[in-house]
Chains A and B, each alone.
Chain A
Amino acid sequence: MEMWLEGFGIAFQGQNLLYLLLGTTIGLVVGAMPGLGPLFGVGLMLPFTFGMPPATAIIFLAAVHAATAYGDSIASILINTPGGVGSVASCWDGYPLAQQGKAGLALGVSTTSSFIGGLIGWVSLVVISPLLILVALKMGPPEYFMVALLALSLLAMAASGKVVGGLALGGIGLLLAFVGSDPITASSRFTFGTDYLEDGLPLVPVAVGLFALSQAIILAEQGGTIAQIRSIGSIREGFGATLRRPMTILRGSVVGVLLGVMPALGLSSANIVAYLVEKRASKNPESFGKGNIAGLVAPEVAKNTCILGDLIPTFTLGIPGSSVTALFLAAMVMHGLQPGVDFFKASGALPYAIFAGILLAQFAFFLMGLFFARYFAMTVLVPNAFIVPLIVFLSFVGSFAMRNRVEDILVTILFGVLGYALSKRGYPAICLLLGFVLGDLTEANFQRSVLIGRGSYGIFVDSTISVVLLSLTILALIGPYLVRLGRSLLTKAE
């Protein structure tokens, strides 16, 4: 307890608070840019921290980390353009709200949900991380494959009505994920002999094209302004609207923590899965996509819980769960800190200061978010004629900045046109993205399992976890038919 006080004391020092605010501001800006999320924000800022004292460096990065994840949603809600791969699902109900003149309410919901997600994530990081690590250790390739299957079974849900089209798009997404080196044999597939495709199609440009660029074309066509009535609604209402949905918060945070703590999964899937889980749990799923607040709360909570859940293996095991946390680990090692079981024992008050800083970072983005939300929300009142060129410009910057490759912009354009065509026809582009995001997880873990199982498929039903996951998948797929069958039998009996 004393250590905690000392830790908070360090975190509250003038310089650290200053960097906390600086990190939050940078995070908000980077986050709001289409496609650029925590990975880019933390990566960009990492070199600047090498000269700082350890606590300041980590607090600064934690602030960037939390605020980029939060800032991602601003663009999702206001202009239907995912600010990063972690906030794709926030568009689906956030943007309809903005269109209905409730941009302020939506931002209030997003800010509150992200904050609550951050708090739940922090508590899991501090209190139950040893327990969660046990889950992570139990997950091997067969279990990951089953998780991927379960997530793919949500495709039908994501298709919102167009089931056949949605499944077909999911299949195409999987196929696109196969471009590049085979994850097991390293042989090149569908690369047409180019170096560019060796690493596969890059996620950020694909997502930015499908959602941001296509959206720019749609907005250009529509003209006028995003909000169909000249209003942004009340930000404060969003606070209450979120808190009135404790079950949604619970479901979102469970998805977020679990996907965060598993090293092979993370941000890009957590928000989508949480949204679809929420839709499935809802009594009126047809209201999703039309401005249902629960449809915004769930992915927002999941996203911010996930990014902290992601830190759990880094701190507890000294093993980074994702590329972002690998950067955190690098920053800590650079400053002579060695995360792992002995992290709290070895370095005095410093680890406590870092955890205090991570908590403060949640408060920082919450307060700044609430303060600026009103001004951000004005975007929806700006004529599309100004918004569209800005989206196009930022989409290209976002796609290019990740890897400094011009080809990535071409990918964005290609998928922008595809996304536009799909949305014109009413086909759910999200199914394509879901298939694409889950492609490597599905394929690589299938191949690994078969290698480990020496060619036998028995390995997939060897452990309890995978059997449970498989049953859930089967249930999810045939469940609706069973219900219909049961109902028709009942009516016949009557």
Chain B
Amino acid sequence: MKISLPKSIVILAALAVPLSATIAQEKFPSEPIRLIITHAAGGTTDMAARVIQPYFQKAVGVPVVIENMVGAGGNIARGYVFRQKPDGYHLLVSQQPSMSSGEIVSGGKFKVLQLTHLYNIAGKNYNCVAVPFDSPIKTIEDMKKASQREPLTTAGTGIGSNAYIVAMLIKERVGVNVTYVPFNSGAQAALAVAGNRTQMGAGALDSYFPLHAQKKLRILAVTGPARDESHPEIPTMKELGYPQVTLDQMTGVFAPPGLPKNRVDVLIAAFHKAMEDPEFKAAAAKAKITLQPLAGEQFLKASHEMYDTIQGLKDVLKSGVRKKKK
């Protein structure tokens, strides 16, 4: 193969690119991009990332590598990306508002609002409130009344998780007294409710729905701002008259603070193109991922709102974390 002079200059220049960061700004991206996931393969955060990865890779033009950095409820991955150089090659895939709670409640070493908000992929992954199937509690009002005698035992996942936030919203803003009992997984929490071990439960709709369908427990309401698209028969807390118990949830892509504007634009354009790909839309529908495309500023605005919700609940959420007396 003959290489013309101009072409060889281009090739040499391309080889020289990694040597100098200032030149690298000319062409971005030129190296593989790492998508760092807060949770293990197969989880909701991971699924969103895996489904978009091939389409994002096609749109951005460099290899995109997925890395699951599991630990401390996602705070290990968040802290890691927060510390990286803002070069656009280290991206974080994380959920909100659990990331806010990771910062505010669990004291993670990062600042959510300082992260560069690139693109939100998925959303509307709702939580719900459930009671055992034969429980005398039929409505939220029943729940409130029943809890006046003694607090209702409430199954959920770890302190700071979405299930925990929902339980605390119900406690603080509706006035249901609860004793929160954390389990290792949403599945185990749902089984505890189904087995009549706890008087109620909170957590991801996905964990509770299979047992609801089998009449082992009853889901009273979802806590999203609207009904769930796959299960439209279940009402929202908002419709039942408790708009104060609304917790939206989204999964998006973040970069370290201070990512230069031109790189932000390149990445957002690539995500936008990937999200518009009809093949991607089909793949997402098959995996039951509800898309919620939000770019840059819009994404930050939605994320900011979630952050404020958690900030407002700070004292309540933290009360569960008992610190040892020094």
Closest beta carbon of chain B to A294's beta carbon, Å: 34
In the complex with contacts A47-B50, A137-B195, A195-B109, A323-B40 CB distance below 8 A:
yes
Which of chain B's residues have a CB closer than 8 A to the CB of A321? Answer: 187
Closest beta carbon of chain B to A260's beta carbon, Å: 15
Choose from A138, A140, A198, A444 the contact partner of B72 (Cβ within 8 Å). Answer: A198
Q: Which of A205-213, A328-336, A349-357 contacts B (4 or more CB under 8 A)?
A: A328-336
Closest beta carbon of chain B to A351's beta carbon, Å: 15
Let me know if B213 and A50 touch, CB within 8 A. Answer: no
Which of chain B's residues have a CB closer than 8 A to the CB of A46? Answer: 41-42
Choose from B40, B183, B209 the contact partner of A43 (Cβ within 8 Å). Answer: B40
In the complex with contacts A319-B190, A334-B47, A452-B197, A185-B207 CB distance below 8 A:
no
Let me know if B214 and A47 touch, CB within 8 A. Answer: no
A142–B46 CA distance with the chains assembled, in angstroms: 33
Which of chain B's residues have a CB closer than 8 A to the CB of A454? Answer: 150, 153, 179
> Residue A83 at the B interface, CB < 8 A?
no
Interface size for B (C-beta < 8 A) is 55
Let me know if B67 and A404 touch, CB within 8 A. Answer: yes
A319–B72 CA distance with the chains assembled, in angstroms: 23
A403–B183 CA distance with the chains assembled, in angstroms: 23
Kindly supply a per-residue 1/0 record for chain B positions 72-98, scoring 1 wherever the CB is within 8 Å of any chain A CB and 0 otherwise: 100110010000000000000000000
In the complex with contacts A47-B50, A186-B106, A264-B188, A137-B216 CB distance below 8 A:
yes
Choose from B43, B50, B214, B320 the contact partner of A317 (Cβ within 8 Å). Answer: B214
A181–B160 CA distance with the chains assembled, in angstroms: 12
A47–B159 CA distance with the chains assembled, in angstroms: 30
A327–B229 CA distance with the chains assembled, in angstroms: 24
> Residue A448 at the B interface, CB < 8 A?
yes
Let me know if B286 and A186 touch, CB within 8 A. Answer: no
Residue of B nearest to A318 (CB): B210
Q: Within residues 415 to 430 of chain A, which ones have a CB less than 8 A from any CB in chain B?
A: none
> Residue B191 at the A interface, CB < 8 A?
yes
Choose from B159, B188, B210 the contact partner of A185 (Cβ within 8 Å). Answer: B159
> Residue B324 at the A interface, CB < 8 A?
yes
Kindly supply a per-residue 1/0 record for chain B positions 281-310, scoring 1 wherever the CB is within 8 Å of any chain A CB and 0 otherwise: 000001110000000000000000000000
Which of chain B's residues have a CB closer than 8 A to the CB of A341? Answer: 213-214
Let me know if B181 and A187 touch, CB within 8 A. Answer: no
Let me know if B41 and A448 touch, CB within 8 A. Answer: no
Which of chain B's residues have a CB closer than 8 A to the CB of A141? Answer: 181, 192, 197
Which of chain B's residues have a CB closer than 8 A to the CB of A181? Answer: 72, 158
In the complex with contacts A451-B181, A454-B179, A333-B287 CB distance below 8 A:
yes
Closest beta carbon of chain B to A16's beta carbon, Å: 20
A477–B47 CA distance with the chains assembled, in angstroms: 47
Let me know if A198 and B41 touch, CB within 8 A. Answer: no
A329–B158 CA distance with the chains assembled, in angstroms: 22
Choose from A187, A323, A340 the contact partner of B210 (Cβ within 8 Å). Answer: A340
Residue of B nearest to A335 (CB): B286
Let me know if B321 and A186 touch, CB within 8 A. Answer: yes
In the complex with contacts A330-B42, A454-B179, A137-B194 CB distance below 8 A:
yes
Let me know if A187 and B214 touch, CB within 8 A. Answer: no
> Residue A320 at the B interface, CB < 8 A?
yes
In the complex with contacts A185-B320, A198-B71, A319-B210 CB distance below 8 A:
yes
Q: Within residues 112 to 152 of chain B, which ones have a CB less than 8 A from any CB in chain A?
A: 150
Let me know if A195 and B207 touch, CB within 8 A. Answer: no
What are 23 A-B contacts with C-beta separation under 8 Å?
A140-B197, A181-B72, A184-B181, A185-B321, A186-B106, A186-B160, A195-B75, A263-B187, A320-B185, A320-B187, A321-B187, A330-B41, A330-B47, A333-B288, A334-B51, A336-B287, A340-B210, A340-B214, A404-B67, A404-B69, A448-B181, A451-B179, A452-B197
Given contacts A46-B42, A318-B209, A403-B69, 15 further A-B contacts (CB under 8 A): A137-B216, A141-B192, A183-B182, A185-B320, A189-B324, A195-B72, A198-B71, A317-B214, A318-B210, A329-B42, A330-B42, A334-B51, A334-B286, A336-B287, A452-B179
Nearest 8 Cβ contacts at the A-B interface: A318-B210, A330-B42, A186-B159, A140-B197, A319-B187, A327-B42, A198-B72, A185-B322
